[in-house]
Amino acid sequence: MLSARSMFQEILDNDESFRLFCSIAASGESQGGWENARIAALVPESQRRLAPKIVRHGADEDKHGRIFNALLRKRGLDPVDVPGEADYTMLLEKQGIGLAHDKLRADAPLTEYDIVSYLAHSRVTEQRASEQMRLLCKHFAEHPDLGRAVRMISNDEDNHLAYCHEELLRLAAAGHSRRIQRILRQSAMAEIRVYRDVSLAFMTHMGRILGWSGPKVAVLMTGIHLVYLFERLFGWRRMVTLSMPERRDALGGPATPATEFA
């Protein structure tokens, strides 16, 4: 029977598919760590109170990258280059999601509008990250190799999502409400297209590595297109709503260390 658990189990059991999975995850997390570190360094004076939380966000992302690389080392595997068509963060940047890297490499302070954009983009992408990690936790929280890693990362992603909600509500109350809603809607629509494209590319590579049959690949591809259609029509709304989270000040302290992994 084809299920999310059985598909992930196949990926985890094969060295080459596991290698690609962890390489993609590590690359995206490390990229997020760099981006947050640069944003924290360039925060405008009006939003300096956010800098420690952005630093914490970046430290968490760096930690996640190290965890995925440590999982590779534990199996004696080296990372592989991420295929361009499966590079979620790169494709998001091309769609205008996240602050441009040219801007982050410069030394000029960001604007308050940049910070609003950063938080709105993050609210959308952290929704996806939180959901994906919860799915992995559902099936592999007790896995001997992955269990502790997915539980830790899932908790961090929930913290990141809570932080985005709380800070965006603060900025909305300060007069940025219309701008935030506009950016959220645009970002959600762009993200669901990128997620579909990356999912199709990911499954194509996994099918090739694992020798999946044509009908199996066709079923998986159809499922991805159906998810995209649902998100395009209805599911995007979960990415644009804002509500005060139960976890208040979720990034108010230092990052949780992960010395047991890396």
Residue ranges covered by each domain of the chain: 4-239
Answer for the pair 113, 179: CB distance below 8 angstroms, yes or no: yes
- The answer on pLDDT for 42 being more than 60 is yes
- The answer on pLDDT for 260 being more than 80 is no
Mean pLDDT of 215-237: 96
Q: For 9-32, write each residue's pLDDT tens digit.
A: 999 999 999 999 999 999 999 999
- The answer on pLDDT for 5 being more than 70 is yes
CA proximity to 135, closest of 121, 124, 112, 151: 151
Q: What is the percentage of the chain residues whose pLDDT exceeds 70?
A: 96
Which of the four pLDDT bands, split at 50, 70 and 90, describes residue 58? very high
Answer for the pair 67, 148: CB distance below 8 angstroms, yes or no: no
Mean pLDDT of 119-128: 98
Say which residue the tokens 């982050």 belong to: 104
* Packing angle, helices 214-233 and 177-210, rounded to 10: 180
206 exposure class (CB count in 10 Å sphere: 0-12, 13-18, 19+): buried
Residue 262 has a pLDDT of 45
Collect all residues with Cβ–Cβ distance below 8 Å to 247 and sequence separation of at least 6. Answer: 158, 159, 162
- The answer on pLDDT for 222 being more than 60 is yes
Q: For 141-179, write each residue's pLDDT tens digit.
A: 998 889 999 999 999 999 999 999 999 999 999 999 999
Mean pLDDT, the chain, integer: 94
Mean pLDDT of 232-260: 87
Decide which of 1.20.1260.10, 3.40.190.290, 3.10.20.30, 3.40.50.1820 is the CATH code for 4-239. Answer: 1.20.1260.10
Residue 258 has a pLDDT of 64
